[in-house]
Amino acid sequence: MTTTSPATRNRPAAATAALWVLQVLLAVVFALIALPKMLGNPIAVDPFDLVGIGIPGMIIVGWLEFAGAIALLVPRLCGLASVCQVPLMVGATVLTAVQDPELVTIPAITLVLVCVVAWFRRRDTAALVRAVRRR
């Protein structure tokens, strides 16, 4: 017996495939932007110093981004992962707008794409929350 998630029952196969391609691309982006932060790269510290959280905050954000990248690839967690990445990308967009305005389109586009995944995975996220509440 096979089971399908609530969201995939009504979604065409091509749309589901496109959503997974987007999730994989976002996972790669999040992993790549997380690595310098996780490793404490001094070049990545400036935005975090700007808001007063410095190297410890940078490392925490890096690990959160990396965890989100992995969770985007897990069918049961991908919706929740995209929701959790939204505030991280809002922060990244605001910090980039303040520190380096000409580069703000990069985190802004990533924010929009992660919102798209969160929207299309909203039923999966709701099903996960319901399952957790039942336990």
Q: How do residues 26-40 score in pLDDT, each as one tens digit?
A: 999 999 999 999 998
pLDDT band at 9 (very low <50, low <70, confident <90, very high): low
pTM for the whole structure: 0.86
Average model confidence (pLDDT) for the chain?
Answer: 90
pLDDT band at 47 (very low <50, low <70, confident <90, very high): confident
CB atoms within 10 A of CB 111: 19
pLDDT score recorded for residue 2: 47
Q: Which residue has the higher pLDDT, 51 or 80?
A: 80
| CB within 8 Å of 23: residues ≥ 6 apart | 72, 73, 78, 82, 117
Residue 112 corresponds to which tokens in the numbers above?
């929009």
